[in-house]
Amino acid sequence: MTIFLDSAGSSLPPDVVLAEMTGHLQAEAQVGGYKAAEARADDLADGYRVFGDLLDCEPGQIAFTDSASRSWLSLLDAVPLGPGDRVLITQVEYGGNAVALFRLAEQRGFTVEQLPSDETGQVDVAAAQDMLDERVKLVSVVHIPTNSGLISPVAEIAKAAHEVGALVLLDACQSVGHIPVRMGELGVDMLSGTGRKWLRGPRGTGFLAVRADAPLWPRLFDHTGADMVGTTGYQLRPGAQPFELYEYSVAARLGLIAAARYALDIGMDTIGAQVCERGRLLRTALAAIPGVSTHDPGRERSGIVTFSVAGVPAEQVRDILWEQGIVVTGGRGPAARIDMTARGITEFVRASPHYFVTEQQLDQAVDAVRAIAAGH
């Protein structure tokens, strides 16, 4: 039996998600995509309410996309940025976000600067306050990074950013479905997330949320995002609609909505507590093994546990665990290059247990890591 410790990578969808997707694909093969979608119109529309409930915002503030990166890129592209403007990122900025930001900065003439971290490894909020001025137009924050158990102090950073009028873009890719993410409470203007990770949705799905009155300027949309006015004009649709295109995988969308309903039925407070507790148990047990070190900074920690075994390359640890049916990720991901470089870590193994992982399974995983460390 598989011990699945990779919900930060691509989690296991529950049966209802699978049933929604396969059922809809069958319907499409029988009556065609348009008629099949029409039959599910109410559920598709209800998806905005479901995600509004999940993120504690209005349905109209939600848009569905095909990945967290698509969401993040569309939001970034909609922020008016020009010469002389400053954009601030944190040490744990996601690699995919960073490269796009560097490219856009070249073209539009703004600068990208990194906020310092404090001794616990999270953003140094006091130092951030010193860096903020009215030239800062955007602050990009990663709620939970891809490569450690850190939880960023989002609300504090957002508050400081708003004092100088900057917009706050939150990469919530690792936090939605993992811990409660309430947009208003966090005080962010924009948020991006994915389906396949902690939400247990299908691959190829993502979503975003925007504050109702955020001063954004979406650039590339179709007739789903804007109405044609006469034959020469357009009228942007309200809320987050300009961030969606006409075409999408209806089966995947239905699967994503089912996954979010499933999470809401359990309750995000319950899920958050259970996942973080599993992370704590695993982190503590691994750290106690001679030759094993854990690498999770921050004041507050999530269910993501990163570690290494002295003398054994991370990929080898991963492969040995895989052979025993224990699924983790391992490697030297460019996805977190800035943070890894700053902390002097070249590689790590990542274990990310969801609420469906039992304590007994965690013990088995710890035993397996102990055996790898002892063999060295």
Options 68, 136, 252, 349; binder of ligand PLP; rule CB under 6 A: 68
Could you report how far apart the first and last alpha carbons of the chain are, in Å?
A: 26
Q: Is 255 in the site for ligand PLP (CB under 6 A)?
A: no
Q: Is 94 in the site for ligand PLP (CB under 6 A)?
A: yes
> Which window, 63-71, 127-135, 215-223, 242-250, contacts ligand PLP (CB under 6 A)?
63-71
φ, ψ dihedrals at 323, nearest 5°: -60, -30
> Which window, 64-72, 109-117, 219-227, 313-321, contacts ligand PLP (CB under 6 A)?
64-72
Q: Is 174 in the site for ligand PLP (CB under 6 A)?
A: yes
Vertex 98 angle, CA 105 and 7, to 5°: 155
Options 61, 90, 122, 146; binder of ligand PLP; rule CB under 6 A: 146
Which residue intervals of the chain are DSSP H helices? 15-31, 33-39, 41-55, 68-77, 95-108, 125-131, 154-163, 183-186, 250-266, 268-287, 314-323, 337-343, 359-374
Q: Which is nearer to ligand PLP, 200 or 370 (CB)?
A: 200
> Which window, 109-117, 123-131, 166-174, 265-273, contacts ligand PLP (CB under 6 A)?
166-174
Rounded Cα–Cα distance for residues 214 and 165 (Å): 11
Q: Tokens 């750290």 sit at which residue?
A: 287
Instruction: Provide the residue type at 86 as one letter.
Output: R
Instruction: Return the DSSP state at 7.
Output: T
Q: Which is nearer to ligand PLP, 203 or 280 (CB)?
A: 203
Rounded Cα–Cα distance for residues 55 and 249 (Å): 22
| Closest CB 204 distance from ligand PLP, rounded Å | 9
CB 333 within 8 Å of CB 148: no
Non-local CB neighbours of 371 within 8 Å, separated by 6+ positions? none
| Closest CB 324 distance from ligand PLP, rounded Å | 25
- The residue among 227, 223, 224, 190 whose CA lies nearest residue 207 is 190
Q: Which is nearer to ligand PLP, 173 or 289 (CB)?
A: 173
Options 47, 145, 297, 353; binder of ligand PLP; rule CB under 6 A: 145
CB 264 within 8 Å of CB 54: yes
Structure tokens of 259? 């996954």
Q: Is 142 in the site for ligand PLP (CB under 6 A)?
A: yes
Instruction: Provide the residue type at 241 as one letter.
Output: Q
| Closest CB 180 distance from ligand PLP, rounded Å | 17
Q: Which is nearer to ligand PLP, 37 or 348 (CB)?
A: 348
Options 13, 47, 96, 153; binder of ligand PLP; rule CB under 6 A: 96
Rounded Cα–Cα distance for residues 132 and 164 (Å): 7
- Size of interface with ligand PLP, in residues (CB under 6 A): 13
Instruction: Return the DSSP state at 266.
Output: H
Footprint on residues 194-253 left by ligand PLP (CB under 6 A)? 194, 206
Q: Is 173 in the site for ligand PLP (CB under 6 A)?
A: yes
Options 20, 171, 189, 339; binder of ligand PLP; rule CB under 6 A: 171
Q: Which is nearer to ligand PLP, 7 or 69 (CB)?
A: 69
Options 7, 65, 67, 74; binder of ligand PLP; rule CB under 6 A: 67
The residues that bridge with 170 in the sheet, in sequence order, are 141, 191
Rounded Cα–Cα distance for residues 312 and 65 (Å): 39
Q: Which is nearer to ligand PLP, 148 or 361 (CB)?
A: 148
Q: Is 149 in the site for ligand PLP (CB under 6 A)?
A: no
Q: Is 91 in the site for ligand PLP (CB under 6 A)?
A: no
Non-local CB neighbours of 211 within 8 Å, separated by 6+ positions? 61, 183, 188, 189, 190
| Closest CB 352 distance from ligand PLP, rounded Å | 10
Residues that bind ligand PLP (CB under 6 A): 67-69, 94, 96, 142, 145-146, 171, 173-174, 194, 206
